[in-house]
Chain A
Amino acid sequence: NAGVMQNPRHLVRRRGQEARLRCSPMKGHSHVYWYRQLPEEGLKFMVYLQKENIIDESGMPKERFSAEFPKEGPSILRIQQVVRGDSAAYFCASSPSLARTEHFEQYFGPGTRLTVT
């Protein structure tokens, strides 16, 4: 059973460009979470999605950031008009439906390291 997949692992963008980060959850998982890790800091929650639904986006910046988890395909975190402050590691995590498991945990992908030049 493959783990959470993220691509690309490293992404370099110039200021003003768009960044698209992809996340494929573990097989059988229907919940996806995105976190951002700034240098020397812990992970900060950004958004929680289920298939075709945004459940909680309280951690998302109000502008330039969006996320989706379509019925088919990976979850996408999109950052428009990137700025240097967007440089960070972005981690995706997935979990199964809470109704089907007593183990409440999130499985993390390897992350995408975004560098804005």
Chain B
Amino acid sequence: AQSVTQLGSHVSVSEGALVLLRCNYSSSVPPYLFWYVQYPNQGLQLLLKYTSAATLVKGINGFEAEFKKSETSFHLTKPSAHMSDAAEYFCAVSSTNTGNQFYFGTGTSLTVIP
């Protein structure tokens, strides 16, 4: 069975501050892990993905995430928040054993304070 837990449904940071969004996964097989961003009334846009290559994954818009197997985590970070980063962020897990099904976390709403 696979699942994702996102700690903190709401995160607020000041503009220019570090962004840290947490994601912990559960998987009985090697996982594929993804971060998606959703702006209001829009679909999901892929930020980055981990597919068993490098454990530190760089994505778009300055975001990156590190796969830590020992901690079953895939936290999303960005060194300096921009106002345009305000959105909903979803972590997802999948594997070839799940028939391509993605399991999403409940999301973290990021607010950036000017």
Chain A's interface size range is 20 to 34
CB distance from B43 to the nearest CB of A (A): 4
B residues near A113, Cβ cutoff 8 Å: 41
Cross-chain contact of B43 among A31, A45, A48, A109 (Cβ < 8 A): A109
Question: CB-nearest residue of chain B relative to A4?
Answer: B43
Q: Is the CB of B46 within 8 A of A48?
A: no
Question: Residues 1-39 of chain A: 1 if any B CB is under 8 Å from the residue's CB, otherwise 0?
Answer: 000101000000000000000000000000101010000
Question: Does residue B34 face the partner (Cβ distance < 8 Å to A)?
Answer: yes
Number of B interface residues, CB 8 Å?
24
Question: CB-nearest residue of chain A relative to B6?
Answer: A42
Docked CA distance A13–B32 (Å): 37
Docked CA distance A98–B101 (Å): 13
Q: Is the CB of A42 within 8 A of B107?
A: yes
Q: Is the CB of B103 within 8 A of A45?
A: yes
A residues near B42, Cβ cutoff 8 Å: 110-111
Question: Does residue A69 face the partner (Cβ distance < 8 Å to B)?
Answer: no
Docked CA distance A35–B101 (Å): 10
**62-114 of chain B: CB within 8 A of chain A:** 90, 92, 94, 96, 99-107
Q: Please report A residues at the B interface, Cβ cutoff 8 Å.
A: 4, 6, 31, 33, 35, 41-45, 48, 55-56, 58-59, 91, 93, 95, 98, 102-111, 113
